[in-house]
């Protein structure tokens, strides 16, 4: 395959390729469309990503890939360590074939896309289109979820009960938390953009849509993450500090004056609810496994198999992941992978801390991912992995700070 096209064809492709990437966020849920190409299982999202990589190579050759890597700046080494540690975790997975397929979807393809984005989206106008596409994704997901919640149509069992019995919208996904996991970090990013520029109505609308998605999905983790990030940003910014203090004061008064609210909040934060107890049992079993395998964890995609001998609470299922961010990463990628992921988050915050209020964006997204990740799985899913690295780019690429 030629690495370059001649004449006007190459010029046209180089000038228009970025459009395909700009609209990519809108089709992130397409990973739910699954099929096989020969013996290779894949998804519609992976096919689109593969097409982008091929066209990028034709348009720019190896020079394009090298430039994309060079523009990673401080992220190069933590990303390299993340890739290496997670790849070795495939080798000790109980199912290497499955592990490699998941590594390809969660690690390799999102990182390759990051290289493409760092090459194609240096212009502020292009970044603006990519941002708008992320916003539109939240609007579509929130509207989809609201329609499901109000009508009950399209919701799979067991969440398709009446509203009074706890109906939960799922959007295009098979379970409710997938809807909230995708929209919450983008909503947090949008609120940071609003705080930085209060006239930005689209950002405020996106934050509201993310809150709506969390509400109709009945995701406490997403709701707490969004509200905590919003209040934190209001308190940080002098222009909004009084509003932040007022919200906190009202919240404290409500907890003190309304016993039912206080009791419900306490049940959630102390993990006394059913979902909280299930998580505690999962974490106890996972900790026992990790104490026996501290360096390797379970291997990439191996959690359900490796945790089975440690699973004592037979009345609950073995989940795909242990549902808290440290154990998720440690179990999947081993101790080295956990260190690499922590390094990535540290580099993410460090890339902008000298650039307030730009730093708000990175702080908001990392905060939302970590807070929601305390009780869920905010990375190891096709759409979430891609969204993660798009947000890394959008929150660290500025004219004052041209490198990641």
* pLDDT score for 83: 97
Task: Tell me the pLDDT band of 270, cut-offs 50, 70 and 90.
Answer: confident
Which residue is associated with the tokens 């493409």?
A: 116
Sign of torsion over alpha carbons 230, 236, 237, 242: positive
Longest dimension (CA), the chain: 73
**Residues of the chain with pLDDT > 90: what percent?**
79
**How high is the mean pLDDT of the chain?**
92
Tell the burial category of 15 from Cβ atoms under 10 Å away from its Cβ (0-12, 13-18, 19+).
exposed
Mean pLDDT of 179-205: 95
Q: Which of the residue ranges 32-36, 181-185, 187-191 would you say has the lowest mean pLDDT?
A: 32-36
| pTM for the whole structure | 0.94
Helix (H, G, I), strand (E, B) or coil at 300: coil
- The predicted model gives 68-86 an average pLDDT of 94
Confidence category of residue 400, pLDDT binned at 50, 70, 90: very low
73 has a pLDDT exceeding 90: no
Does the pLDDT at position 8 exceed 70? Answer: no
- List Cα–Cα distances, 300 to 216, 331, 345, in angstroms: 32, 8, 20
Cβ-based neighbours of 25, under 8 Å, separated by 6 or more: 130, 133, 134, 136, 137, 387, 390
Looking at the predicted structure, is the pLDDT value of residue 285 above 90?
yes
Which whole-number Å values give the CA distances from 250 to 33, 44, 256, 339, in the listed order? 45, 47, 10, 39
Report the alpha-carbon distance of residue 231 to residue 389 in Å, rounded. 25
Q: Report the chain's C-alpha Rg in angstroms.
A: 21
E-assigned strands of 89-184?
none
pLDDT digits (tens, 9 = 90+) for 224-265: 999 999 999 999 999 999 999 999 999 999 888 888 878 877
The domains of the chain are located at: 7-140+271-396
Residue 217 has pLDDT above 90, yes or no: yes
Q: In whole angstroms, give the CA distance from residue 293 to residue 192.
A: 39
Write the pLDDT tens digit of every residue in 135-182.
Answer: 999 999 999 999 999 999 999 999 999 999 999 999 999 999 999 999
Pairwise CA distance, residues 364 & 198, whole Å: 16
């Amino acid at each position: 395959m030629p690495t370059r096209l001649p004449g006007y064809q190459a010029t046209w492709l180089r000038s228009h390729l970025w459009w395909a990437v700009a609209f990519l966020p809108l089709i992130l849920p397409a990973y739910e469309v699954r099929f096989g190409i020969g013996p290779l299982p894949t998804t519609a999202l992976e096919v689109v990503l593969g097409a982008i990589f091929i066209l990028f190579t034709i348009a720019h050759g190896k020079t394009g890939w090298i430039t994309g890597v060079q523009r990673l700046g401080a992220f190069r080494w933590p990303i390299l360590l993340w890739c290496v540690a997670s790849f070795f975790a495939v080798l000790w997975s109980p199912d290497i074939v499955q592990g490699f397929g998941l590594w390809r979807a969660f690690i390799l393809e999102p990182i390759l896309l990051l290289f493409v984005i760092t090459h194609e989206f240096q212009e502020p106008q292009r970044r603006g289109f990519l941002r708008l596409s992320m916003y539109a994704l939240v609007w579509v997901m929130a509207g989809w979820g609201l329609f499901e919640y109000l009508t009950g149509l399209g919701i799979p069992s067991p969440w398709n009960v009446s509203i009074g019995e706890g109906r939960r919208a799922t959007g295009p996904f098979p379970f409710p938390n997938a809807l909230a996991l995708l929209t919450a970090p983008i909503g947090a990013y949008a609120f940071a953009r609003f705080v930085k520029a209060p006239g930005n109505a689209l950002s405020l609308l996106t934050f509201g849509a993310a809150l709506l998605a969390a509400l109709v999905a009945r995701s406490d983790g997403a709701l707490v993450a969004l509200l905590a990030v919003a209040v934190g940003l209001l308190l940080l910014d002098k222009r909004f500090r009084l509003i932040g203090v007022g919200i906190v004061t009202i919240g404290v008064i409500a907890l003190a004056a309304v016993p039912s609210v206080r009791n419900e909040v306490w049940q959630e934060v102390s993990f006394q609810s059913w979902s909280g107890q299930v998580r505690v049992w999962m974490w106890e079993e996972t900790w026992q496994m990790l104490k026996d395998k501290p360096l390797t964890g379970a291997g990439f995609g191996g959690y359900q198999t490796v945790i089975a001998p440690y699973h004592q609470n037979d009345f609950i299922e073995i989940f795909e992941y242990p549902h808290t961010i440290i154990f998720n990463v440690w179990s999947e990628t081993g101790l080295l992978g956990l260190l690499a992921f922590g390094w990535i988050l540290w580099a993410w915050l460090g890339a902008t801390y000298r650039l307030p209020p730009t730093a708000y964006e990175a702080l908001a997204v990392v905060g939302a991912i970590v807070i929601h990740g305390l009780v869920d799985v905010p990375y190891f899913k096709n759409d979430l992995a891609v969204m993660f690295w798009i947000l890394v780019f959008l929150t660290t690429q500025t004219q004052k700070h041209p490198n990641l």
